[in-house]
Structure 1
Amino acid sequence: MLSPNAGPFPSPTIARYTARLFLVRTVAFLAGLVLILQTLDLLGESGRILAAPGNGEADLWRYVSLRLPQLVALFLPFSVLLATLLTFMTLNQNSEVVILKAAGLSPHQILAPFLVAGAVVAGLNFVFNETVLTTARAEFDRWKAADYRRMPPERRSGDIWVRSGDDLVRAGAASGAGEGTRLADVTVYERVNDRLIVIVEAEQAAPVPGGWRLETVRRFDVTTGQSTQLATLDLPLTATPEQFTQAVVNGRYLAFWQLIPAIRAQEAAGKPTDSLRAELHHKVAGPLSAALMPLLGAVAAFGLARSGRLFIRVVIGLALGFAYFVAENFALAMAEFGSLPPVAAAWAPFLLFLLIGEAILVRTEE
């Protein structure tokens, strides 16, 4: 008979046995889901891919190579949840949980190998996301936006909008940096109390002390309807060169260690960074969901299988897992609109469901 264990873990044999069951099922669920969904996805998009001029079989494989990392990242947490429920359900049905508890193990000790294995999966998920997923996602989105056509090297151009006090400034292109910044195809919308009064168009603009110097200018007075042509015009705009030259950052396309300096550069340019900070924290909190799923699925492990309530327990565990993903996406969406602080948006769902899972486990243990 097994002896009681006062430590946080069961014996090494039991820990290896339960962790192996959990990990093997996680890999099996992930492989099955990704294989089926990748096949269906490729069948749905193959027509569009091959319709692009010059595309062939190699482009289909390129689509798979870019889409596969996204499917893995998307369904890994679901695979962990399903593997947790299946493993606990199997242990419960075979009365192995009853045997472990009779040997003196607490629910926390039974769950410990699952939590450690989930933490390992979370670590691997973080490394995968930051080294493979970010690059694949950026290239895939750009390729899909071009309808899977051959693309030239990426460059920045077109419609750079900056706010200068009440005024709005649009630049068709920006080059250089600092005092050497040059804007092309510039339009300034001068406003007073949110009412448009003057539209200034210029071929070029450069920063000068106290504002910007516009060249080859056309000034249109909205109130009088008069248009004036000027060679140059100095406008006291508060917009800085960095606001034009600092590209818009998509946190989903940058690794964790790349996003930190990008956020600092955005702050130096006076641009909002709340959504980027939420994405930065989510890069850590998101993969940790793999370590949280065993705790949420533990409801299926305890309670007598012959009581007829095992199925209900599995459904409850499944509902808790999916509720977490809904709450996570909702919080990130709220951060996008500025309704939640970045740290709260990324970590509140994780901490909330951590407490819920722990409360259920303590209740079970009592």
Structure 2
Amino acid sequence: MIGTGRLERYVLLRTFTGVGAALAVISAVILLVQFVDLSRSVGVRADVGVAQLFGLTLLKAPALILLLLPFVFLAGGISAYVGLNRSSELVAMRAAGISAWRFILPSGAAAFLVGVLAVTAFNPLASMLSARFEADRAGLMENYLTDAPKEVWLRQGDDRNQIVIHARSRDTVAGRVRLKGVSLFVYQKNKDGLPEFKRRLEAAQAELLPGFWKLTDVREATAGESSVRSDSLSIRSTLDSESAMERFASPDAIAFWRLPAAIHQTEQAGFSADGYRLRFQQLLATPLLFAAMSVLAAAFSLRLARLGGLAGLAGAGVAIGFIFFFFNEFSGALADAEIIPLYAAAWAPPLVALLSGLTLLCYTEDG
């Protein structure tokens, strides 16, 4: 039993060495591609140096690396198992009567735990860096994007009131959201739960402070009454700076821990939160996807080298990984279009990948 435990640790170490090598290669490729892309899109339009471009690249890269981590586990696992196979170590293990399940399942469990860590720790970090990337890039490109549309539509509300906010432009100063040329349409729910228009406010500027909007140079008009002007006015807000900025971002840019709040606030404001719910379910399914990729890597690499065809089988495993990757993205697109349920879109790809790997392993190992 002690020898078997050491063997499992050895295979696990070899597997994660392969995953680390694959991560290093894919990360280097991502950094290179992103640096070239930013050099073309930002470097030629703004007076920025190589250091600033590389800093932007480092801010953007973690989100892309996180997206490709399942493929990293597949490629790294295949590399590790093929290496064990070609060095005849797998032959020796089988000759000693050790089942492949004894070292494949620990690798899958370890991949699952890494997936949990990626979702709970790495995803919030990547989201924070992505937000910093967007802010820094917008600052560098500010003078070159004056013709781009900057109109803003926001909506906030609770059980009684709904406020629709429109602004001609927005900016973020010291983490605060500031809107210019603002119109606020205030609705109140009647006894039947239907919104009724109550008043409209026009303001030169609106700044989001903790718990309220601070309006400047305000003109307020209530139905059936004349308008009233004031230098400043405060309106209660259910948004904070971070959640307001999230309304301008895609669900992929919101950190895992903030998604439940984003879902609640979006539904409270009267919008559909299906995009956020899909992203939340996809993140919950990520550890299972990591484990499935680890199992698939083993399933395509256990064929004995002396029987031939190992390289072709490993190549097929990589191709299958790409297929599952695009299947995952395609399922998300179908859910966005409300063609399939979002739970099916989030959980079907990892479940299919895991069941496929287990089926192939049963066929290879047990006949």
Using structure 2 for the length normalisation, give the TM-score.
Answer: 0.72
* Secondary structure of 2:20 counterpart: helix
Task: Answer whether contact 1:299 1:314 (CA < 8 A) is retained.
Answer: no
Distance 1:36 1:262, change over 3 A: closer
Deviation at 1:310, TM superposition (A): 1.1
RMSD of aligned alpha carbons:
3.6
Matching residue of 2:285: 285
Work out the CA distance in 2 between the residues paired with 1:85 and 1:216: 62
Question: 1:158-196, CA deviations, whole angstroms, 9 ceiling, x for partnerless residues?
Answer: 343xxxxxxxxxxxx77998659585689xxxxxxxxxx
2:302 matched to 1:309?
no
Task: Answer whether contact 2:59 2:132 (CA < 8 A) is retained.
Answer: yes
Work out the CA distance in 2 between the residues paired with 1:123 and 1:146: 34
2:197 matched to 1:212?
yes
Structure 1: stretches of 5+ with no match in the other structure: 152-156, 161-172, 187-201, 218-230, 235-240
Task: Answer whether contact 1:38 1:71 (CA < 8 A) is retained.
Answer: no
Distance 1:149 1:12, change over 3 A: farther
Residue type of the alignment partner of 1:339: I
Matching residue of 1:348: 348
Question: 1:115-164, CA deviations, whole angstroms, 9 ceiling, x for partnerless residues?
Answer: 1332233233223433311112233245446664489xxxxx8343xxxx
Deviation at 1:25, TM superposition (A): 1.6
Matching residue of 1:83: 76
Structure 2 matches for 1:243-254, cutoff 5 A? Answer: 248=247, 250-254=250-254
Matching residue of 2:296: 296
* Secondary structure of 1:113 counterpart: helix
Deviation at 1:343, TM superposition (A): 1.3
2:33 matched to 1:33?
no
* Secondary structure of 1:303 counterpart: coil
Distance 1:286 1:145, change over 3 A: farther
* Among candidates 9, 14, 39, match of residue 7 of structure 2: 14
Task: Answer whether contact 2:275 2:336 (CA < 8 A) is retained.
Answer: yes
Matching residue of 2:217: none
Task: Answer whether contact 1:84 1:294 (CA < 8 A) is retained.
Answer: yes
Work out the CA distance in 1 between the residues paired with 2:262 and 2:156: 18
Matching residue of 1:60: 53
Deviates more, 1:346-355 or 1:309-318: 309-318
Matching residue of 1:268: 268
Distance 1:13 1:145, change over 3 A: same
Structure 2 matches for 1:45-56, cutoff 5 A? Answer: 45-53=38-46, 55-56=48-49
Question: 1:199-244, CA deviations, whole angstroms, 9 ceiling, x for partnerless residues?
Answer: xxx9764436752145699xxxxxxxxxxxxx8656xxxxxx9999
Is the radius of gyration larger for structure 1 or structure 2? 1
Deviation at 1:17, TM superposition (A): 0.9
Matching residue of 1:192: none
Work out the CA distance in 2 between the residues paired with 1:348 and 1:176: 35
Task: Answer whether contact 2:155 2:164 (CA < 8 A) is retained.
Answer: yes
Question: 1:282-327, CA deviations, whole angstroms, 9 ceiling, x for partnerless residues?
Answer: 1122344222112112233333211222122212322222221111
Work out the CA distance in 1 between the residues paired with 2:86 and 2:69: 26
Work out the CA distance in 1 between the residues paired with 2:155 and 2:274: 25
Task: Answer whether contact 2:293 2:321 (CA < 8 A) is retained.
Answer: yes
Distance 1:19 1:150, change over 3 A: farther
Structure 2 matches for 1:1-366, cutoff 5 A? Answer: 11-53=4-46, 55-144=48-137, 148-149=141-142, 158-160=151-153, 181=163, 205-207=185-187, 211-213=196-198, 233=223, 248=247, 250-364=250-364, 365-366=366-367
Work out the CA distance in 1 between the residues paired with 2:80 and 2:361: 17
Task: Answer whether contact 1:52 1:149 (CA < 8 A) is retained.
Answer: no
Work out the CA distance in 2 between the residues paired with 1:183 and 1:114: 51
* Secondary structure of 2:339 counterpart: coil
* Secondary structure of 2:104 counterpart: helix
Work out the CA distance in 2 between the residues paired with 1:176 and 1:317: 50
Deviation at 1:352, TM superposition (A): 1.2
Work out the CA distance in 2 between the residues paired with 1:332 and 1:77: 16
Deviates more, 1:25-34 or 1:325-334: 25-34
Work out the CA distance in 2 between the residues paired with 1:337 and 1:180: 27
Deviation at 1:355, TM superposition (A): 1.1
Using structure 1 for the length normalisation, give the TM-score.
Answer: 0.72
Work out the CA distance in 2 between the residues paired with 1:114 and 1:209: 55
Residue type of the alignment partner of 2:78: L
Deviates more, 1:321-330 or 1:293-302: 293-302
Work out the CA distance in 2 between the residues paired with 1:207 and 1:282: 35
Work out the CA distance in 1 between the residues paired with 2:132 and 2:268: 27
